[in-house]
Amino acid sequence: MNARDRLIVGLDVPTIAEATAMVDRLGDTVSFYKIGYQLAFAGGLEFARELAEDGKQVFLDMKLLDIDNTVAKGVENIAKMGMSMLTLHAYPKAMRAAVKAAEGSPLCLLGVTVLTSMDDDDLADAGYATSAVDLVEKRAAQAIEAGMGGIVCSAAEAKRVRAIAGPEKAIVTPGIRPSGSDANDQKRVMTPTDAIVAGASHLVVGRPILQSLDPKVQAEAILKEISAATRA
């Protein structure tokens, strides 16, 4: 992969008009976009289809979790949309159902381990008697066993997850913050360079690009950083 295939810009904006304007501003600099709940519920699913038809790669961040049949039927339809990546919460039954439903398609299924906005205290509040690192490792191993295409984790756990997943699986890391950027609501963050060195294959960057005075210049700077890190 080249750097452009590794950078995923999170289109975490409220309207299709704003998303379209950002894609236009970024132009050919960015080829991979993430669409999550915020934009999906404002017409973003059709927009995702249009991006794919225009030759962009699209990471549909839906974090699916439901009974097996519901997950399977959802994945079947998403595979027909031309999406490149899709997230599910890394629960074994749901992942196995999704993998079976996606057979024969190029859709890369990603198991979400622990959200990057959560730490050990948050997990304890949710009833988990384990640390974030231990839960990430457990869910990563279950995702690989289920046949998933990759893992979503914070870059802080990317090295451990890479050891579990092997060299070929995708490791997608949100919570990427260039040096000097505000962490916002993220708790387990890392710079682009450190994330690539740790074993991440793809970096999801949202607010540091979207809220930049010049998003294209910021994206280009991150791409240079990714390129340098992959050559190191």
Number of domains in the chain: 1
At 126, which CATH number?
3.20.20.70
Would the annotation count 70 as a binding residue? yes
**pLDDT confidence of residue 183:** 46
pLDDT grade for 181, boundaries at 50, 70 and 90: low
Q: Is the pLDDT of residue 139 over 60?
A: yes
Contact predicate 75/101, CB 8 Å: yes
Other C-beta atoms lying within 10 Å of the C-beta of residue 117: 15
Q: Is 62 marked within a binding site?
A: yes
- Distance CA(106)–CA(104), nearest Å, equals 7
Residues catalogued as catalytic? 61, 63, 66
Mean pLDDT of 178-197: 69
Owning domain of residue 135: 3-231
202 with 229: CB under 8 angstroms?
no
For 95-138, how does the pLDDT look when each residue is reduced to its tens digit (9 = 90+)? 999 999 999 999 999 999 988 788 899 999 999 999 989 999 99
Confidence label for 74 from pLDDT (cuts 50, 70 and 90): very high
Q: 177 a known binding residue?
A: yes
* pTM, full prediction: 0.92
**1-41 tens-digit pLDDT:** 899 999 999 999 999 999 999 999 999 999 999 999 999 99
- At residue 196, does pLDDT exceed 50? yes
Is 67 known to sit in a ligand binding site? yes
